[in-house]
Amino acid sequence: MRKGPTTRVRIREITGSTSTEHRDDLATEEPLEIRLTAADGSRRTVAITMRTPGHDFELAAGFLHGEGLVGAGDIAAIAYCTDEDLPPEARHNTVTVRLRGPIPDLPALDRHFLTSSACGVCGSASLEVLRSRCAAVPRGRLDLTPEFLYALPDALRAAQGVFGKTGGLHAAGLFAADGRLVAVREDVGRHNAVDKLVGWAALTGGLPLAEHVLMVSGRASYEIMQKALAAGIPVVCAVSAPSSLAVELAREFGLTLVGFLRGERCNVYAGSERIL
C-alpha cells in the first residue's frame, strides 16, 4: 500500500493527572531509493534518503541537479520502479530516472548510497568541488527591503498544510521578487524540501531561479546553500542560524544569506548589498 505524507496512530495524552486516548497524525518517514538507468540499459543506485512521501520525482530530479550529477535536459523520464527484484510494497519507495545517455562516471557517486550531512569531506574540499562546477551568482536586479524579509516566515508557515496536521516537518518556500509565494514543499528532511523545490523548477524549465528568494523553516546548512547555488537562487533566508561553512560558501559565491529571520529582526551574514 502506498503511504501518504501523514500516518495516523493512536496515542495516550496525559495532561496533569488525567489521560485520554485519541488518534494523532504523524509525518510519514520512508526511505526513497534513487536509481539511474542509462540509454544502454545499465543501472545504478545513487542515493537512499529518508523522506516524506510526495513529490518524489521532484526530489529525485532536485537531488541529482543539486549534486551536479544529472541536469534536467539529461532526463528522459522518471517513474516508480517496477523491477522484479522489488517487492510490491517497496515499489513506491524506489524511483528510476531514465537518462538520455550514459550514467555519469563521477567519483562523487560513491558517497551517495546513504545521504547525510556527514559525508567525510572537509569544508575546504567541499568548496573546491563547487568551484569546479558552479560560478558565482551575479548581483542581478533583486533588491529587497527589510519589510519583504519580515513577511516571509508567516507566509511560509501559512502554506505548510502537512505541518499544520503533524507539527513535524521542515518546509522550503520559493518567493518571487514581489513577495508572491511561487511554490512550497515539505519534508522530514530540510534538504529534501529544498530538493523538491529545485526538482520542480528543473522539470518545468524554471532554472535558473535568478530572481527568487528561498526561505527555509530550519537552519541554513552548507547543503542547503549548495543546492541554492546550483539552482541559481541569489538569496537564502532561514528562521534559525547558519553554519560557518554556509556563510563561507555564501560570501565566496555572491549569495545573500539571512538567518534568525523572526518577527521584525534578522541577521545578514553575506550579500547585504541586495537588501535596501
Q: Binding site: residue ranges?
A: 260-265
Please check whether residue 97 is in contact with residue 64, taking contact to mean a CB–CB distance below 8 angstroms: yes
Cα separation, 160 vs 170, in Å, equals 9
Q: Please tell me the chain's helix, strand, coil percentages from 3-state DSSP, rounded to the nearest 5.
A: 35, 30, 35
Which of 162, 230, 163, 169 is closest to 195 using CA atoms? 230
The phi, psi pair for 12, rounded to 5°, reads -115, 120
Cα separation, 82 vs 99, in Å, equals 17
Q: Exposed e or buried b for every residue in 245-265, given b needs 16+ CB within 10 A? A: bbbbbbeebbbbbbbbbeeee
The answer for residues whose C-beta is within 8 angstroms of residue 149's C-beta and 6 or more apart is 237, 258, 261, 266, 275
The phi, psi pair for 117, rounded to 5°, reads -75, -10
Q: Where are the alpha helices (DSSP H) in 93-232?
A: 123-133, 146-158, 161-166, 190-203, 222-231
Q: Treating both helix axes as pointing N-terminal to C-terminal, what angle do 222-231 and 56-66 enclose, rounded to 10 degrees?
A: 90
Catalytic (active site) residue 237? no
For residue 139, what is the DSSP state? Answer: -
Q: Which of 81, 119, 122, 134 is catalytic?
A: 119
Active-site annotation, residues: 119
